[in-house]
Structure 1
Amino acid sequence: MKAIFVVLLVAGVMSGPAVAEQPSGASPLLGSWAVDVSRLPMPPAARPRSVTITFSDTGAEGWTTCVDIVDADGAASHAISTAALDGTAAPVKDSIEADTVALELPAPNVLVMDLVKGGIPASTRVYTVAVDGRSLTETASYAGGHGLPMMRTNHFTRIRRQDCPAP
């Protein structure tokens, strides 16, 4: 089912307007993105203060992904992974959501991320950059209550074009 969803999503993205050109042909996903916390599907008091995700091209190693979260109480966390863009599993360091990740880049503006925690699938996320390159949509699919499939959409704004900070 996931494969069908990804194929349909990619087909829809690829048949749409062209993605805004990036310097040196780089993916428009590269750089740092801040989630719009006001649109998170949770009570305002439970929302994190900030969530930033940064994608960096590390050449032959693939991409490094950094996720920085400041929770509602002000506690900060920094998770990091480096994975090839071919679906090969790679470790995630310091994440409460996952210890393993796999990435694929089916189109320059689309990243598919599969997350696993303790050998159990945690979520599949599809990141899509808008044509203007200024906004990013994350669609997350996971097992919700009673094992039923759930999906949520998060909205991000580009904050800068830079690489992940060193661990």
Structure 2
Amino acid sequence: MRQTMAGVWMAALIALAMPAWAQADDGARLLGLWSVDVTQLPMPPEARPQRVTVALDEAAAGALKIRVEIVPAEGAARISTAIVPLDGSTVPIEGDTLEADAIAVKRPTGDVLTMALAKQGVPASTRIYAVTPDGDQMIETAVHFGADGKAVMRTFRFDRVR
């Protein structure tokens, strides 16, 4: 009995100590419009895009609508969209397919999205998006392999627009 009560007490303490954002696992905090802080991009200022946004919206039960807009320094917007099931199955990307033409996603927790991109059947990159505890920022870790066969990892910060 004493061990049972100790276990119940410990579980209650853990639940109370957990912030509200950690208890919600429905993915709603990922949804919205996110804008990358282009001043942090590792390239000369004149080469940086004017704007990079990612919109994540619920498309249907178990699926996301993803819209990526990149406005390069020259100004002509590149827009890619996909409605993607969260089960890891691959679907085509519509619109601009310069970087990738297929996408698969999974959401291991409500605040994390894992994305695999491919181009002509070949892996292009893996991206992991994680929402910060305050819900105001989303951190992207992008991974691809360079021509030398070594992994290249980049981290970008997105600010919530809506």
TM-score of the aligned structures, taking structure 2 as reference length: 0.83
Q: Which residue of 2 aligns with 1:159?
A: 161
Report the RMSD for the aligned CA atoms in angstroms: 2.0
Which residues of 2 match residues 2-151 of structure 1 at below 5 A? 18=19, 20=21, 25-60=26-61, 62-94=63-95, 95-151=97-153
How many residues of Structure 1 are paired with residues of Structure 2 in the alignment? Answer: 144
Deviates more, 1:144-153 or 1:48-57: 144-153
Could you say which structure has the greater relative contact order, defined with CA pairs below 8 angstroms and 6 or more residues apart? 1
Q: More displaced, 52-61 or 122-131?
A: 52-61
- Distance in 2 (alpha carbons) for counterparts of 1:113 and 1:19: 26
1:69 Cα shift? 1.0
Instruction: Identify unmatched segments of 5+ residues in structure 1.
Output: 1-16, 161-167
Question: Are 1:99 and 1:118, in contact at CA under 8 Å, matched by a contact in 2?
Answer: yes
Percent identity over paired residues: 42
Runs (4+) of structure 1 exceeding 4 A deviation are none
Instruction: Give 1 or 2 for the bigger CA radius of gyration.
Output: 2
CA distance in 1: counterparts of 2:154 and 2:108, whole angstroms? 21
Residue segments in structure 2 that go unaligned for 5+ positions in a row: 1-17
